[in-house]
Amino acid sequence: MARTLSEVVYVDGVRTAFGRAGESGLFWKTRADDMGVKVVRELLRRNPQLPPERIDDVVFAATAQVGDQGLTLGRDVALLAGLPKTVPGFAVDRMCAGALTATTAGAGEIAMGAADVVLVGGVEHMGHHPMGEDVDFNPRFVSERIVDESAGVMGATAENLHDAFPHLTKEAADTYAVASQQKAAKAWDDGVMDEIVVPMSVFTDEGWTVAARDEFLRPDTTLEALAELRTPFRAGGRVTAGNSAGLTDGATAALIASESAAEELGLEPTMRLAGFAYAGVEPELMGLGPVPATSKVLERAGITIDDVGLFELNEPFAVQVLTWCDGVGVEPDDPRLNPYGGAIACGHPLAATGVRLMAQLARGFSERPDVRYGLTALCIGMGMGAAVLWENLRNGHG
């Protein structure tokens, strides 16, 4: 029988501070699933009009689904957060697009009428679970030339982008990185992140402290300093620690709902899901992924890049952002792009990042009621890209 799909809206989103991965990082002695619990509880605290029993599903992402982030995270986090045992949950993995995939999966449940309210998010404890540590990379990938050997090393794929697009120079990447740091510092100074980042008590070698600020913020970064950094992925290369995102621990969570349920429960949505797309590219050029994903979602929505007033793009490497800019026709210094900085400044805890992008876009919408559409997009390991299009409910078109 014919069905009428439900509109999906974004209500609220939060994250922990993003800590440096490893023994010196803020979250070294904190469990990954407890970080997920913290952001879920904060969403419930911030939205007291939502009865916990009205949550129909909890979808959580992790790239390394082992150890303290390996027990069907959605259900694990739901139980630990004190949600009723009647609330189910599950885990997803699309590497860096984990939280975005959790969002689109939950949105599918809502659109089909299988759910009214869904909690979505992601967590990555890269200190406990370094990238690729528990992965058995099938030797046939290389022996049968299915992918280039560099596809499994993200920094190597970034160097490949510089090779493929030589006009995207190291100097351009460093310039972009400095701007990201400056924009992130301003966002913290202006109180933007105070509305998104949830302080969390953590235990360290020095005792208890509060993780309240991203550890990779370097507001004093200069082009001169970046020019001196070594290139770890290739001798004489162009990718450095300064124009890349640091290895990071962090968790994010967001509340999405059907438009009718949000109205019934007195929730105040800020964005409507307007469309999404995933795309594949050559794995060794994985940073290209957001370009076809962006083109696909815009074409399906019947709009152009000029109709989009804000972009929240991930920044695993500056060259990846430059490649997207080059591919879709947006200047790297366009004020629509990452107005609060990106992962080069705050870090990139893989599967958690998507909701960070959503939360920052929602904040951007609140400051820019003239903007109708915004885009959250990122690249994905093994050659993929994701793009999610949102409509600003404060714009007057909702």
379 as an active site residue: the answer is yes
Residue with tokens 């020095």: 206
Smallest CA-to-CA distance from 361 within 373, 349, 346 is with 373
96 as an active site residue: the answer is yes
Quickly count: other Cβ atoms within 10 Å of residue 264's Cβ: 12
325 as an active site residue: the answer is no
> If DSSP states are collapsed to H, E and C, what string results for the chain?
CCCCCCCEEEEEEEEECCEECCCCCCCCCCCHHHHHHHHHHHHHHHCCCCCHHHCCEEEEECCCCCHHHCCCHHHHHHHHCCCCCCCCEEEECCHHHHHHHHHHHHHHHHHCCCCCEEEEEEEEECCCCCCCCCCCCCCHHHHCCCCCHHHHCHHHHHHHHHHHCCCCCHHHHHHHHHHHHHHHHHHHHCCCHHHCEECEEEEECCEEEEECCCCCCCCCCCHHHHHCCCCCCCCCCCCCCCCECCCEEEEEEEEEEEHHHHHHHCCCCCEEEEEEEEEECCHHHHHHCHHHHHHHHHHHHCCCHHHEEEEEECCCEHHHHHHHHHHHCCCCCCCCECCCCCHHHHCCCHHHHHHHHHHHHHHHHHHCCCCCEEEEEEEECCCEEEEEEEEECCCCCC
N residues, the chain: 398
Find the catalytic residue in 125, 128, 129, 348: 348
Find the catalytic residue in 96, 129, 162, 325: 96
Find the catalytic residue in 129, 325, 346, 379: 379
Quickly count: other Cβ atoms within 10 Å of residue 85's Cβ: 8
> In whole angstroms, what is the distance from residue 268 CA to residue 47 CA?
9
Which residues belong to the active site? 96, 348, 379
